[in-house]
Every structure is written in structure tokens, then in C-alpha cells.
Amino acid sequence: MSLPLVFALPGNDAFAADLATALEGGLGSAEVRRFPDGETYVRLETDVRDREVVLVCTLHEPDEKVVPLVMLAEAARDLGARRVGLVAPYLSYMRQDKRFHSGEGITSLYFGRFLSRVVDWLVTVDPHLHRHATLAESGYTIPTRVVHAAPAVADWIREHVERPVLVGPDSESEQWVSSVAELASAPHIVLEKVRRGDKDVEVSVPEVDRYRDHTPVLVDDIISTARTMVETLRHLARAGMPPTVCVGIHAVFASDGLQALEGAGPAQIVTCDTIEHSTNEIGLAPALAAAVSEVLAEEGGAPERNANESQ
């Protein structure tokens, strides 16, 4: 099998370069820009005939990214690529996974079906699977691999934090927090959260008495408005805990999220590099490369499996 060719969609150059290095594949060159009228122009400058093409496009603020993605995937196919896959370190549209109010669209399902028509396979990091257990249940009909950030996050905590106690802000975070805690050999607690609106979040007072001499490490999959972390941080500070380390897998930081978190009290903010951000400290390209190699090794594709479990 020939080496894969990795192409970066705009804004994904650093991650694509790291991925190509980890894959020992080539880095392809493509021009992606807008015509003056706002339409998308794409041109593949590297020959893709009979090659495995890997497009790298993290999908926060996805609406403006999907048209260039569709155009580049179509162009690669049109020019003879063998298969066209997508590495989306952050996968969006995962949270509206049910009809909360009558008449609403279940957009996570529609997005899954849509991406399955655009690319032949997908690799991503810890998608926000909540009410659905797998990407297949979320509408994806192509082969997918889910890479977990937990091993890399646990390594970072072990190297950088003394006597950590891991804190999950809500029951949804239990899945990430418990596995990071186990890998980091640290205790963990999970709180209760009630969200009343986009920026209105209440978190239960944590029972932290027995961990007073520990460093709280708040772990969540997504930091978006950051209100979840802000509320939790305030509680931990009021409870007299030492300054918190906030670890987010996906640095979405919507609107004033970063300022809100920075203004909430003394804390160190650390994220994985699934979305390029000044807080990135944990690199995941090697873990994603392993999952990509696994997908590519399977000629006709395979049912969804957890990349870390299969290693």
C-alpha cells in the first residue's frame, strides 16, 4: 500500500504536519480559498491518483468549514484518489442528539449522515457521545475510529501535577474523568450540574474535605462558554482548595469563554491540540496516526471500533 497523503484544510496546518510525520506519510499541498463572491475555490497541487488521501479538518465552528471540506474531498476523488478519509480531531454537532423541544431537528444525526456522504472514513477524538453509545448510532455509516485523549491527559497530569484529585463537573464527564483518574493512579470525584441556559450553569458543592491536601484537576471534554468550569472552579475555591488545574480535551472557547475562565480565579488552563489554541499543551497526533493506519490497513473498511482498545 502506498503511503497516505495528508492535506490540511485552512487552519489545520500544524496538526496535519504532525500527523504526516507520525504516519510517515507525505504532506500534500492544496490551495483552498474563496472567490471574491464568497464561493469556495480548491486546487490539489499534489497528484492524488491511486493514493489514500487524508484530509485534516477540525470541525469547531463547522458551518463555514464544511463547504471547503466537501469541495476538497470531491476534487480528490475526481482526480483519482483511492479513498478519501477525514481526520477531524474535534467533531461538532454531537450535543443536539435528541429532540429536546417539539419541532427541533436532531442535528447530530443529520451531520453524521451528511459527513458519511462526503468521506470514506472518519477518525476523531472523544466525540461527545452521550445518549448514543457509538458514532454509528449517531448517523455515521462509514468506518470510524474514536481515539481517547485519556492516556495523553493522564501522562500530562502525572508529569505536571503533585497529588492530583480529578474532578468531573457532571455525570456526562464521568466517562472521561474516571478513565483519566485510573491511568493517572489518582482519586476522582464527579459533581452534579444543572444547565438552565447557554451561559447559566449551576454545579453542586463538591465534597472535597478529604482531598484538601490535593491539587484539584478539573477534567471535561469540551470547554465552550466555559461556564461549567467557571462554576466548578468557584466552588472549589470557596471550599478552600488549592488553585485548580483545568484540563479540557477540546478548546472550543465560544464567545467570551476564555476571559470568563481566566477571570474566575487562580487556575492553570491546559487543553489538547484537537483545536489550535494558546492553551494547547497535550499533543494527540501520534494517537490519531495509529488510528488512521488501522483504518487504512483495512481494505474495504470495518465496523466502528475503539482505537485504543484495539491496540
Contacting positions for ligand R5P (CB under 6 A): 95, 169-170, 172-173, 201, 220-228
Minimum CB separation of residue 63 from ligand R5P in Å reads 18
Grid coordinates of 141: 455509516
Nearer to ligand R5P, 6 or 201 (CB): 201
Nearer to ligand R5P, 49 or 196 (CB): 196
Minimum CB separation of residue 259 from ligand R5P in Å reads 13
Minimum CB separation of residue 307 from ligand R5P in Å reads 21
Minimum CB separation of residue 299 from ligand R5P in Å reads 36
Report the alpha-carbon distance of residue 61 to residue 79 in Å, rounded. Answer: 28
Report the alpha-carbon distance of residue 90 to residue 249 in Å, rounded. Answer: 9
Minimum CB separation of residue 309 from ligand R5P in Å reads 22
Give CA 101 to chain center in angstroms: 27
Q: 145 with 177: CB under 8 angstroms? A: no
- Burial tier of 131 (Cβ tally within 10 Å: 0-12, 13-18, 19+): exposed
Q: 119 with 142: CB under 8 angstroms? A: yes
Angle between helices 107-118 and 63-78 (to 10 degrees): 20
Nearer to ligand R5P, 225 or 271 (CB): 225
Report the alpha-carbon distance of residue 252 to residue 264 in Å, rounded. Answer: 18
Nearer to ligand R5P, 222 or 285 (CB): 222
Nearer to ligand R5P, 21 or 204 (CB): 204
Minimum CB separation of residue 254 from ligand R5P in Å reads 7
Nearer to ligand R5P, 263 or 301 (CB): 263
**To 10 degrees, the CA torsion angle through 226, 232, 236, 239?**
140
